[in-house]
């Protein structure tokens, strides 16, 4: 396996369940489905332009996960790092699973929200493998 990591950058999404899904997915990937292949970095630190962080992101693959069409993670990464290798929207997994309407609760997130998060995390885990093979 490549020593390179895929950086998972969820949007902040505070106060919106779609943003909570974004963060939940990042934790599922880093702690479970793509453990040892992925890493997290903090979006505000990226926006701030912390040099070491930007350099690390330039040398590795990046996946942005956004919670609404404003695409904060994607747009901030493009501006600060100059690239994004794959981009996912939490709203898409909700549209694909009409029977799993996410509960409005953010803390804790509900069972349907957890199921949606895992479904999209499974898709993203496949993309992680694709991106690592490109290295
Ligand atoms: S993409 Fe949407 S949900 Fe995520 S931080 Fe931006 S405004 Fe909030």
Distance (angstroms) between ligand 1 centre and the Cα of 88 equals: 13
Per-residue pLDDT of the chain (135 residues; tens, 9 = 90+): 448 999 999 998 888 899 999 999 999 999 999 999 999 999 999 999 999 999 999 999 999 999 999 999 999 999 999 999 999 999 999 999 999 999 999 989 999 999 999 999 999 999 999 999 998
| Ligand 1 pocket check for 70: Cβ under 6 Å | yes
The pLDDT, as a whole number, for residue 15 is 87
Distance (angstroms) between ligand 1 centre and the Cα of 13 equals: 5
Q: Is residue 35 part of a domain?
A: yes
Q: Is residue 84 part of a domain?
A: yes
The pLDDT, as a whole number, for residue 1 is 46
Q: Is residue 94 part of a domain?
A: yes
Q: Is residue 70 part of a domain?
A: yes
The H-assigned helical ranges of the chain are 17-28, 43-48, 51-59, 72-80, 90-96, 111-134
The pLDDT, as a whole number, for residue 117 is 98
Q: Which domain holds residue 81?
A: 6-134
- What is the helix (H) or strand (E) element at residue 66, kind and residue range? strand 61-66
Tokens 């997994």 belong to residue: 93
Q: Is residue 1 part of a domain?
A: no
Domain count, the chain: 1
Is-contact 67 18, C-beta < 8 A? Answer: yes
């Amino acid at each position: 396996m490549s020593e390179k990591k895929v950086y998972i950058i969820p949007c902040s999404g505070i106060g919106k369940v779609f943003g909570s899904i974004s963060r939940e997915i990042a934790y599922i990937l880093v702690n479970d489905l793509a453990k040892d292949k992925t890493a997290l970095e903090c979006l505000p630190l990226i926006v701030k332009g912390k040099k070491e962080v930007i350099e690390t992101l330039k040398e590795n693959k990046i996946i942005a996960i956004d919670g609404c069409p404003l695409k904060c993670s994607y747009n901030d990464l493009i501006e600060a790092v100059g690239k994004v290798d794959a981009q996912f929207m939490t709203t898409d997994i909700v549209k694909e699973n009409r029977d799993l309407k996410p509960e409005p609760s953010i803390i804790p997130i509900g069972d349907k929200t957890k199921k949606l998060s895992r479904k999209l995390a499974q898709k993203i885990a496949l993309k992680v493998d694709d991106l690592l093979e490109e290295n």
